[in-house]
Structure 1
Amino acid sequence: MPTRRAILKATATTFLAAASSAALPDLVFSKAPLKGGQAPGYYRLNIGAYEVTALSDGTIAIPLAKLYANTTVAHAEAALAAAFQGPSSQTSVNAYLVNTGERLVLIDAGTGTFLGPTLGKLVANIQSSGYKPEEIDDVILTHVHTDHSGGLVAEGKRVFANATVRVNRREAEFWLDSNEEKKATAAVQKHFAEARACLTPYIEAEKFEVFGDDAEILPGLGSVLMAGHTPGHSAIVIESQGQKLMFWGDITHGDVLQFDEPDVAIAFDVNQQMAVAARKAAFQHAADGAYLVAGAHIAFPGIGHLRRDDTNYDWVPLNYSL
């Protein structure tokens, strides 16, 4: 004769089997397509009363080890590999938008359509960040290389229709000088042609101004001449309520080798010896001052501090914050 326990056990087994059978159709999974892409490339922080928005123009794979100078390819590749970067390193191109409360100022303008489809994302990211290109009052260039000025134009027209472009006087005179262009190598001559294409629409519209060495550019925005990478390469400085941020431009390319070995130059430097001297001075000043710096080719958002370590310097990225 079945016991009560046996009856309950049999009932439970039958119920579970039925429930499992009923649930089987829900266990069939669809194959969702891969999405690709990243979130919009902007990052916001406050420097005192100023709002700073880091903007990504994209990334590009560059064979940095083959472009570095004053070292060997093997050594550079080993240093990059130790930081989990391959022979072609994904290199950021960053720009920065400063809202002082009185003016909206863009520092560097990205690449536009000059350097391929993985770049040229600046305008889209400006819009994603809540601003519009026509709202920008000024564009300050750390220098005129195409990855900093290419985004000024699209199909020969000004992208920032209401902005005045501001460049160090030495920088403007160099890149707009036909005699300098004639003396340049074929590779560098391309940069002269691109500089004219990017700057001329603003010059013709009387929306182009130059500033002096170590000069105040606009109220609250100063400059520090760091020549070498280009003749008028300048860092841009903001200070507010005791906080400071220096936009370095191209003091470094990448965030691995040159912090440990500041003597390493890169093929893009117009004067490598001066570029090395400028980098060493910038590193020392930033480490001593403990202020934030922003690099155009440091992994996005490219903002952080420098500290000394047993191999010269260490890059300390800004801690992410909402």
Structure 2
Amino acid sequence: MRHSLAAFALALPLLGSTLAHAAPPQAGGQAPGWYRMKLGSFEVTSLYDGFFRLPVDKLLQTDDPTLVARRLQHHYLGLPLETSVNAFLVHTGEKLVLIDTGHAGQGGEATGRVLAHLKASGYSPEQVDEVYITHFHGDHLNGLVDKDGKPAYPNAVVRADQRESGFWLSDPAQAPQAARGGMANAQRVLKPYLDAGRFKPFDGATELVKGVRAVPAYGHTPGHSIYVVESGADKMVLWGDLMHVAAVQFAHPEVTIAFDSDQKAARPQREGQYKAAAEGGYYVGVTHVSFPGIGKLRADGKGYEWIPVNYPRP
């Protein structure tokens, strides 16, 4: 008994040390989702809204039944595919411009972070002068309003191609059944800006502020637009939904997606922008490429290689 008590007494300091140094619970979460780079004299900040889990094997359209699975396996990716949602903030020195706004949590808890990350990056929503929308799908549009339906960017003018607004803001009763939910959502989100006279559509190719211009890229939706940002010799093109699945569509630009309202029109838009980006050597910003969604393209056979922006940058 005496030996047992002595052994226990010797073990007490070790037991206390073990308890004192027990591992803490895992913290979870990530760093704030913003990434900033210079583009000439401009400043571009990528803002992470979150991600969707998409059944891309069912959404992507290709004649090769094994292509999607093979490409995902090549990139060590599975199904459903976690797909980023990014927005982009451009400071021209004169104007603060937000391009797309994220999904505002409408797709579940995994989205809805653009506003928080904009604030974490050093700006306030009241400072945003203009918001440009590539198209009126919810993951690009919904962040225009807060959870109470009030403008998230109370001082901003909202702009989009008139073909886009003309379709989504028209009478749902005259539209195909499949579009009516999206039309009701667009009308809900834009109502406070329409009521305040702060929604101003444009017609096709238009310079919106010095150094930022809209370029038609119709096909994904009736008025889908991309935005070209140029400062000095530097250039970035913000693609919206020209593409969705990097693991598949960079190597195979011909692959379309069920989200396209006109796949025959969307495909050549994507192929043309890929070719121009590879030949021009400029940056592109992409909504559904892994955050920060900024990089360059290099031609690789019949497809392209995606080269992400070097991280970190000053």
What TM-score results when the alignment is normalised by the length of structure 1?
A: 0.89
Supply the AA of the counterpart residue of 1:77: A
Partner of 2:127: 135
Q: 1:167 aligns with which of 140, 156, 160?
A: 160
Partner of 1:227: 218
List per-residue Cα deviations over 1:122-170 (Å, max 9, x = no partner): 1110111111111101000111111000000122211110000010111
Partner of 2:151: 158
Q: Distance in 2 between matches of 1:118 and 1:21?
A: 46
Contact 1:109/1:150 (8 A) holds in 2: yes
Partner of 2:8: none
Partner of 2:296: 305
- Structure 1 residue 269 corresponds to structure 2 residue 256: no
Partner of 1:106: 98
Measured on the aligned residues, the alpha-carbon RMSD in Å equals: 1.8
Partner of 1:178: 171
Q: Distance in 2 between matches of 1:230 and 1:263?
A: 18
Q: Distance in 2 between matches of 1:268 and 1:178?
A: 21
Partner of 1:17: none
SS state of the match for residue 249, structure 2? Answer: helix
Contact 1:65/1:73 (8 A) holds in 2: no
Partner of 2:230: 239
Q: Distance in 2 between matches of 1:191 and 1:22?
A: 66
Q: Distance in 1 between matches of 2:61 and 2:171?
A: 28
> What count of residue pairs does the alignment treat as equivalent?
302
Contact 1:294/1:303 (8 A) holds in 2: yes
Supply the AA of the counterpart residue of 2:160: V
Partner of 2:306: 315
Q: Distance in 2 between matches of 1:146 and 1:258?
A: 22
Structure 1 stretch displaced more, 306-315 or 278-287: 306-315
Q: Distance in 1 between matches of 2:27 and 2:66?
A: 37
SS state of the match for residue 290, structure 2? Answer: coil
Q: 2:61 aligns with which of 39, 52, 69?
A: 69
Shift of 1:214: 1.5
| Residue segments in structure 2 that go unaligned for 5+ positions in a row | 1-10
Q: 1:296 aligns with which of 268, 287, 292?
A: 287
What TM-score results when the alignment is normalised by the length of structure 2?
A: 0.92
Q: Distance in 2 between matches of 1:189 and 1:77?
A: 32
SS state of the match for residue 111, structure 2? Answer: coil
Contact 1:234/1:249 (8 A) holds in 2: yes
Supply the AA of the counterpart residue of 1:244: K
Distance 1:137 1:160, change over 3 A: same
Point out the structure with max Rg over C-alpha: 1
Q: Distance in 2 between matches of 1:189 and 1:314?
A: 38
Shift of 1:77: 1.9
| Residue segments in structure 1 that go unaligned for 5+ positions in a row | 1-19
Runs of 4+ displaced beyond 3 Å = 20-28, 71-74
